[in-house]
Chains A and B, each alone.
Chain A
Amino acid sequence: DTGVSQDPRHKITKRGQNVTFRCDPISEHNRLYWYRQTLGQGPEFLTYFQNEAQLEKSRLLSDRFSAERPKGSFSTLEIQRTEQGDSAMYLCASSPGLAGGLGTGELFFGEGSRLTVL
């Protein structure tokens, strides 16, 4: 099954360290999303890509966060100088999109990368 895969599944790091998460979307999907979920909350939108172009970034995404999708396939989310408040589950999702650049809202999520900052 070629669903959305994320790596690593768990990451424990010390405050101030940099971390990088990788997401491999479903191969034929041109849209890729990053969401963040903290305990007891719903996912919050961070950013999304249409092919290799990053089209929108949430205000939640501080300057310490950067996301890339260099060839329109996999994506990376890097957090620099991690803080304890960055501890969360980072979810990646993809969708096929529609003609005209519209989305469908039917997102295919990965199992997430859980970050713990000590």
Chain B
Amino acid sequence: AQKVTQAQTEISVVEKEDVTLDCVYETRDTTYYLFWYKQPPSGELVFLIRRNSFDEQNEISGRYSWNFQKSTSSFNFTITASQVVDSAVYFCALSEAYNTDKLIFGTGTRLQVFP
């Protein structure tokens, strides 16, 4: 069975600190996709990134970076120089190759960035 674990329920940091959100997944598939979504207080989930299981290159987008390691089944998300606007719940998700839109979400990590 597929499963996504986000062990960190809540993280609090002060602005400008770096923060890493952990994600560990389980799947028996050899082809799969990993995602991160952001859910701000307004409630609307926002897509951040998709990664397929064959692409282990780390990715950087502005202050955001992602570290995918198949050996440890992890897909961690780092925010550099955090800002108050980064405060949100962040979800890691997994999907099978046959239906990339059918996402299995973790329980989320609530990030609070204080000024």
Q: What distance in Å separates the Cβ of A94 from its nearest Cβ neighbour in chain B?
A: 10
Interface size on A (CB < 8 Å)? 28
CB distance from A79 to the nearest CB of B (A): 20
Contact indicator A111/B44 (Cβ below 8 Å): yes
Q: Given that A42-B93, A42-B108, A109-B45 are contacting pairs, would A104 and B102 also be in contact in the complex, using a CB cutoff of 8 Å?
A: no
Q: Are A48 and B45 in touch, CB under 8 angstroms? A: no
Chain B residues whose CB sits within 8 angstroms of the CB of A44 once the complex forms = 105
**Does B65 sit at the interface, judged by CB under 8 A?**
no
Neighbour of B107 across the interface among A35, A41, A104, A112, CB < 8 A: A41
Contact A103 B100 (CB under 8 A): yes
Q: Is A91 an interface residue (CB 8 A)?
A: yes
Tell me whether A77 is interfacial, beta carbon within 8 Å.
no
Nearest opposing residue in chain B for A91, CB measure:
B45
Q: Is the CB of B101 within 8 A of A42?
A: no
**B45, B95, B106 — most chain A CB neighbours (10 Å):** B45
B47–A48 contact, CB under 8 A?
no
Tell me if A111 and B35 are in contact (CB < 8 A).
no
Given contacts A40-B107, A109-B44, A112-B43, contact A104 B91 (CB under 8 A): no
Contact: B45 with A43, CB < 8 Å? yes
- A69 at interface by CB-CB < 8 Å: no
Q: Which of B99, B101, B107 has the most CB of A within 10 A?
A: B101
Which chain B positions have C-beta within 8 A of A103? 95, 99-102
Listed by A's residue number, 9 A-B pairs whose Cβ atoms lie within 8 Å are A40-B108, A43-B91, A93-B45, A103-B95, A103-B100, A105-B47, A109-B44, A109-B45, A109-B46
Residues on A lying within 8 angstroms of B by beta carbon are: 3, 31, 33, 35, 40-45, 48, 56, 89, 91, 93, 95, 97, 102-112
